[in-house]
Structure 1
């Protein structure tokens, strides 16, 4: 199979022309490929990085590329095999202006990260949502439009296509009071949380019949893991919860005004998405060398092999994340012998091919931000003791048709553990009549911004249609490391 071999032509493209050196590089590279130590694309990326700077590879005792690195260093001392001219894209000196919603409640670190993102040579436009806070690369709550043929893995995020899903049932909201234990047990029975969480009980596995699962070596290697984790949830701020949904007259098509029992979930593409994100982020950093402050914003060219592969994997992760939610909601609905009146979902941590208001074709990255095009339905949650909202997008061009994905953190996990008092948190949950299964202080209501302030800051972006009040909340056990 030609694709699974590193050819002389591949090495020539890296600037290796000496026959003896080609033989040496080919032996090492194809040996690693044959023994499945790395795949073809990862090996080529390492070789490219090694040729630019062999020192880190030479310093690794017993490293897979040490002998090659030593040889390159030796040749350069002899005045042979010159170092290639490294083209480091320069950041723009004057980054473009962008709108910030709820500026007074956004930390300086997030603003600095967004400023760096706006300085990328591929950036076309951006916006910062009111739930924004500092993350890796692009801040959480950041929206970044880049040239149409580029994509930034860390501007998409590690939990690719993390999403919200809401099912509305034709049952009164006071069912929660009357059947609290029954509803809580439904959550426990039909949900699995945790980093390595798996389940053998599936509702619909038809997603795995799709040919995309054989599209790339990375996807093929992760297929079994994804299958075992179908219908499970992550850790950190991921949840499945029952709540009361208040709907006004005519707000939701086909749903009469009233208060309903509703099921809301939040999680993403599990280990499949996480592995895809980290693999292609590393490739992007090797392919696109940026100044230190922007290194997490390295991009892939969609016209390249690695860019095309990432695009396929990201979109498959989106469909997989949706299937995860449907598994949970369908299992619970089946146990209740009841079909939902309506199901609404939206996702964040993704990239979309779109057009700006002036017709410019771009790649829109929404990391912790959701689509809010005109008429698009979405869900914006608060915290475990504050309401979330069903919204309809207004299609505001300044925000690049976007809105927040939640309330946004106001406190880091470490600060939460150091400063919050468990008895005060429990008193808050008791006062709001919240039944909690799992979670810890780092997800307490106090770690989030005031959802009403966040919603007020984006009145131009979305219209509120209904209010969801959490009542029975299921999250990962306290011992689990957060992965959101």
Structure 2
């Protein structure tokens, strides 16, 4: 198959291979990728996915392979953020005409959003976690306590209280239909408050190490831990734990979302038909071009040959279950979504509530000013994103949401 990437040379750095044909890319994103490509431990090249856009430290939608070092800000603070989807045995005809009850049931079953106030519980966390959450936490508890013994400040975080909760921003729970009118449940979230705390703590620790060693960087957010140091080992251990928390968080939420659906539909249904649970903000050890390397995917999904993944669109757009083609040049990766064309602030300024309502027609979802930053117009067209990476993945199922729960 013809390669679809653009080769970009970076002065004093590794090249960038960019799958962005036909998709808008901000100049600031190109500059940010170039700074990452100048790090001395980049392996081969940096790969840019079609949803690439500016992030903190590293561009969202980039794959950064390294040898001998890891950059905590390239992983980011939403460690292990990713997607899960389950196909049910229900058909569209089994759903009620009015979907408001399903949306309300999911909102009641999965804590979402965020509220702050003295003496008040954050509405996005559990007040009293149900038994299913306590049981799930038991599988993570011992490793977390070991982390806290070394870094006590991590204990003062939302950990068990956030297990099985959604969060805010671009996180969601959706009920979708595929082209055969089968019903799916799909959701997007990560390691929540505890992962955020781990990410921020180690990003600052890496910056402190750089100052201690008098290492000058093209961007302070590219501070790194060299392999073989104590902080490298501790970070890898912490990030692996946060990734496990994120995957478990999605499984717990999926169980609760399916229970909510069952509470609204009398017909018994199975939800084990097909399930996918994949990270898109994470670091892992892999073998590429015959060498063992660390691969950081920030807003990118593993697309090894035959591996299933999920690429969601926006609140009003299609989403895709995909199968990886194992493209070596992308380090067997693909995009994690549509990618933003507007910042949250820009979206709030430029998109009207009427436009948001029109763009989410046919979807049972929030249609208020509070979600304008997540409106479909804030994102790149998902069809163009998919066309730009046709050599990275093949589409297995095309989904369209009918219910969308946002924080």
TM-score of the aligned structures, taking structure 1 as reference length: 0.73
Q: 120, 123, 133: which one pairs with 2:53?
A: 133
Pair 1:232 & 2:150 matched: no
Q: Which runs of 5+ in 2 are unaligned?
A: 1-9, 115-121, 263-267
Q: 414, 427, 435: which one pairs with 2:364?
A: 435
Report the counterpart of residue 109 of structure 2 in structure 1.
Answer: 190
Q: Trace 1:61-460 onto structure 2 (pairs within 5 A).
A: 94-103=12-21, 104-124=23-43, 125-147=45-67, 149-178=68-97, 180-195=99-114, 196=122, 197-199=124-126, 200-204=129-133, 205-210=135-140, 211-217=142-148, 218=151, 221-222=154-155, 225-246=158-179, 258-289=180-211, 290-291=215-216, 293-335=218-260, 336=262, 338-340=269-271, 341-357=273-289, 359-430=290-361, 433-437=362-366, 439-460=370-391
Q: Give the Å deviation of 1:339.
A: 3.6
SS where residue 99 of structure 1 aligns?
strand
Q: Which runs of 5+ in 1 are unaligned?
A: 1-91, 247-257, 477-484
Contact map agreement 1:213 1:220 (CA 8 A) in 2: no
Distance in 2 separating the partners of 1:212 and 1:226: 13
Q: Give the Å deviation of 1:207.
A: 3.9
Q: How many residues align?
A: 370
Distance in 1 separating the partners of 2:339 and 2:170: 11
Distance in 2 separating the partners of 1:307 and 1:243: 41
Structure (1 or 2) with the greater helix fraction: 1
Distance in 1 separating the partners of 2:139 and 2:103: 33
Contact map agreement 1:202 1:230 (CA 8 A) in 2: no
SS where residue 288 of structure 1 aligns?
helix
Choose between structure 1 and 2 for higher RCO, CA contacts under 8 A separated by at least 6 residues: 2
Tell me which structure has the larger Cα radius of gyration: 1
CA RMSD of aligned residues (A): 1.9
Distance in 1 separating the partners of 2:192 and 2:201: 15
Q: Give the Å deviation of 1:223.
A: 7.6
SS where residue 169 of structure 2 aligns?
coil
Distance in 1 separating the partners of 2:37 and 2:219: 10
Q: Give the Å deviation of 1:165.
A: 0.6
SS where residue 435 of structure 1 aligns?
coil
> Judging changes above 3 Å, is the alpha-carbon distance between structure 1 residues 288 and 463 closer, same or farther for their aligned structure 2 residues?
same
Pair 1:472 & 2:398 matched: no
Q: Give the Å deviation of 1:224.
A: 6.5
